[in-house]
Chain A
Amino acid sequence: MPVSLTPQGLPAWQQRTTRAQWLQYAAWLLGISLFLLCWKVISDNTMWVFVEDAGRQGSDLLSRMLPPRWDYASVLWKPMWDTLNIATLGTAIGIMMAFPVAFLAARNTTPHPLVRSVALMVIVSSRSINSLIWAMLLVTILGPGVLAGIIAIALRSIGFVGKLLYEAIEEIHPTPVEAISATGATRLQVMNYGVLPQIMPAFAGISVYRWDINIRESTVLGLVGAGGIGLQLNASINNLAWNQVSVIFIMIFATVLVSEWISARVRHAII
């Protein structure tokens, strides 16, 4: 107990017991040495000459970026449109695929534990792999272009939407489901009447939220050739046209802010 008696017989209060105290010190020591070890690995792999140069490089970069070449923006409307399409269509396809997966993965709606583990596996693989990696894969398979981007976004969204959705399904009120089953409804009807209305707000919120994230992610898919404004970004960087890069950054920034605002408004309206 934290309260003990001193040799003089007076009660003394410590925040933790001695053993816990020692354990905590040991944990800190371990953590700090691990951090230092990691730091050493990084520093060994770093060319410190370049780092010393970083300040100059940074200011050089900034001076090349400014002022932005505003007339370049006129070239960017079509890529921006592509980016929006990648995000929107990708989200739509992803949601459509995530929906059945979530029902198969939720403990209370899955037809069989085996099916559940397969569905969970799908969700985990989709979640673990960044959309850029999906895009890299798909570009080697489908060739560069918007299609690869859309599918990459869709594949990544399955896991995200699927996970949040199946958690929502597991948290529904069981009694309405029981009541619908008691009327002699089929399994699908029970889902439709007992489960679906209960998860609809969560589902809409999750979808809009993922759309917002997908807008961000689709801005960079072009770096690996999967269409959208990232293609222009990649080209401008390769040409060292930093004043174009800054225009692209500003456009991305504005788009993301708008999509975030829309997403927040919609979610607010739903809740």
Chain B
Amino acid sequence: MSTRETLLESRAQAARQGRWQRLPLIENPRWRWGIAIGVVVYLVLALASVEVNWARVAEGAGRAVNFLSAFMQPDFVSRQKDIVAGLLESLTMTLTSTVLGVLLAIPVGLGAARNISPLPVYLVCRGIIAVSRTFQEIIIAILFVVMFGFGPLAGMITLAFATIGFMAKLLAEDIEDLDWRQVEAVRATGASWWQTMNHAVQPQVMPRLIGLSVYRLDINFRESAVIGIVGAGGIGATLNTSLSRYEYDTAAAILLIIIAIVLLCEYSSSHVRRWTQ
């Protein structure tokens, strides 16, 4: 009898007498204990390395209360001009970067789909995607601010670059999962490469592409609220200033506006997605 069967038999015997315990998640006890001890050791080490300046925290508690009360009474008025200008910049950056990003993502996505592009093109496109996806928007924004100067142009290029990575990856995956019979059916009619793309590939990926673009629009807006921190324009700069001046009521107003716009985006994007499917 194998050890497995003996184990089963002994568990059945025990259960007959009323003793039963759930099987452990990890069968091998050495692994089970090893992983448990590893987790505990990591937690101890990690928590030990977190330095907390309690005096500073206590000092900040008052500010936390101020901030929470600011949310009850947000101040939309006293910095209205800054807020409006920041928002306008954020929104324009969001829109232009999404459009440019999606347009540029299409060739990159086609190139990064293994089933329709040659190896060198594939590698280059995958490289672009990897770089764009790995680095946070804000890091890329730092570089573009150095290159293009402060202002929304750097922000727009940053967001467009991030959009390329995001969209191209998903597009490439879509194309790789394509229903190949449809493509062959169109090819069999004697269609050229462009015609094949237009009649067999595009209809299959289009609904998801539109859905993802709308989704990315939403992400780009959220990101446009932070890249201002490093000088790439948008509402983030306004927010940063108000926080560093401890103007919590203005900061609260900006955050509420961001939440409202994101909600609006999400609501409309779910509609758009339903409509495209």
User: Using a CB–CB distance below 8 Å, which chain A residues touch chain B?
Assistant: 34-35, 37-39, 41-43, 45-47, 50-51, 54, 57-58, 61, 81-82, 85, 88-89, 124-125, 127-130, 132-133, 136-137, 140-143, 145-147, 150, 216-217, 219-220, 223-224, 233, 237, 249, 252-253, 256-257
**What's the Cα separation between A257 and B130 when bound, in Å?**
9
CB neighbours (8 Å) of A223 from chain B are: 138, 229-230
Most buried by A among B130, B136, B225, B258: B136
Cα distance, A124 to B255, chains bound together (Å): 12
Q: Which of A81, A128, A133, A256 contacts B263 (CB 8 A)?
A: A128
Query: Are B255 and A129 interface neighbours, CB within 8 A?
Result: yes
CB distance A41 to B89 under 8 Å? Answer: yes
CB distance from B221 to the nearest CB of A (A): 9
Residues in A neighbouring B151, C-beta threshold 8 A = 45-47
Most chain A beta carbons < 10 A, residue from B60, B63, B139, B223: B139
Once A39-B96, A42-B96, A224-B229 are accepted as A-B contacts, the answer to whether A51 and B135 lie under 8 Å apart by CB is no
Chain B contacts of A50 at CB under 8 A? 148-149
Q: List 27 A-B pairs, Cβ < 8 Å.
A: A34-B95, A35-B96, A35-B99, A39-B96, A41-B152, A42-B153, A45-B153, A46-B152, A58-B147, A82-B49, A88-B42, A89-B50, A124-B262, A125-B259, A128-B259, A128-B262, A129-B258, A132-B229, A136-B229, A142-B57, A145-B51, A146-B49, A147-B50, A147-B51, A217-B136, A253-B134, A257-B130
Interface of B is mostly: helix
CB distance from A131 to the nearest CB of B (A): 9
Of B56, B88, B91, B138, which is within 8 A of A220 by CB?
A: B138
**Contact yes or no, B148 A143, CB < 8 A:** no
> What chain A residues lie within 8 Å of B122 (beta carbons)?
none
CB of A137 within 8 A of CB of B153, answer: no
Question: In the assembly, what is the distance between CA of A82 and CA of B45, in Å?
Answer: 11
Residue of A nearest to B239 (CB): A133
- By a CB distance below 8 angstroms, the chain B residues around A89 are 46-47, 50
Query: Do A136 and B240 form a contact, CB below 8 Å, given A38-B92, A129-B259, A253-B135?
Result: yes
A42/B225 in contact, CB under 8 A:
no
Question: Taking A35-B99, A133-B225, A136-B240 as contacts, is the C-beta distance between A54 and B50 under 8 angstroms?
Answer: no
Distance in angstroms from A225 CB to nearest chain B CB is 11
Q: Which of A37, A141, A216, A220 contacts B67 (CB 8 A)?
A: A141
A38-B95, A141-B61, A220-B136 known; 14 new pairs, CB 8 Å cut-off, are A38-B92, A42-B92, A47-B149, A61-B146, A89-B47, A129-B222, A136-B239, A136-B243, A140-B243, A141-B63, A147-B57, A217-B136, A224-B229, A253-B131
B233 on interface, CB distance cutoff 8 Å: yes
Residue of A nearest to B155 (CB): A42
Closest CB-CB distance, A115 to chain B, in whole Å?
Answer: 19
A146 CB contacts on chain B under 8 angstroms: 49-51
> Of the candidates B49, B56, B142, B152, which one forms a contact with A85 in the assembled complex, judged by CB atoms under 8 Å apart?
B49
B239 to chain A, nearest CB (A): 7
B61 surroundings in chain A (CB, below 8 A): 141
Q: Which residue of B lies closest to A143 (CB)?
A: B56
Given A35-B95, A42-B96, A88-B46, do A132 and B138 touch, yes or no (CB 8 Å)?
yes
CB-CB nearest in chain B for A44: B152
Q: Kindly state the separation between the CA atoms of A155 and B233 in the bound complex, as whole angstroms.
A: 25
- With A39-B96, A88-B46, A129-B258 known as contacts, the answer to whether A140 contacts B51 (CB < 8 A) is no
Q: Assess the A46–B149 pair: CB atoms within 8 A.
A: yes
State in angstroms the CA–CA spacing of A82 and B50 once bound together. 8
